[in-house]
Amino acid sequence: MGWKVRAIRGATTAAENSKAAIREAVTELLDELERYNRLDPDDIISITFSVTRDLDAIFPASVARERPLWQNVPLLDVQQMHVEGSLERCIRCLIHINTPDPYVKIHHAYLRQAKHLRPDLSMVDLGMVTIPE
């Protein structure tokens, strides 16, 4: 059987609209996704980040690009559509990867306040991650 394209989702929230807070949140999210999915940058097709309109201090892709061996990963930032009453200061990502195992278990990460977006996929609820409030 050949290689297959799979998608990994993740989301988190930043404590505030600052470079430091966004960098911390993005780094934590990518650390979890990389660790639990054993991501190899050479297998990443692309990553799209979306942020809510209240986050504009730094591009999440610029944080990702600083990771070791991630300089050649295609990265894109977009603004998430605003819906009244939706989660604030939210950063989402969608990672497309190539994998030789079409049945590999994918672990999605919904951290911090974003864990309420998809409690069925929250690594916290699966007992994989302990996230401070």
Q: For residue 121, tell me if it sits in a domain.
A: no
Closest CA to 76 of 87, 86, 64: 64
The answer on whether 103 is annotated among ligand-binding residues is: no
- Do the strands 4-13 and 44-51 form a parallel or antiparallel pair, or are they unpaired? unpaired
* pTM exceeds 0.75 for this model: yes
State both tokens at 48: 């799209």
The answer on whether 110 is annotated among ligand-binding residues is: yes
pLDDT of 116 reads: 85
Q: For residue 26, tell me if it sits in a domain.
A: yes
Q: For residue 130, tell me if it sits in a domain.
A: no
pLDDT of 131 reads: 42
Task: Kindly give the parts of the chain with pLDDT less than 50.
Answer: 124-133
The answer on whether 9 is annotated among ligand-binding residues is: yes
Q: Give the domain CATH number at 56.
A: 3.30.1330.40
Q: For residue 122, tell me if it sits in a domain.
A: no
Q: For residue 45, tell me if it sits in a domain.
A: yes
pLDDT of 123 reads: 53
pLDDT of 122 reads: 59
Instruction: Provide the Cα torsion 55, 26, 7, 77; round to 10°.
Output: 40
pLDDT of 101 reads: 86
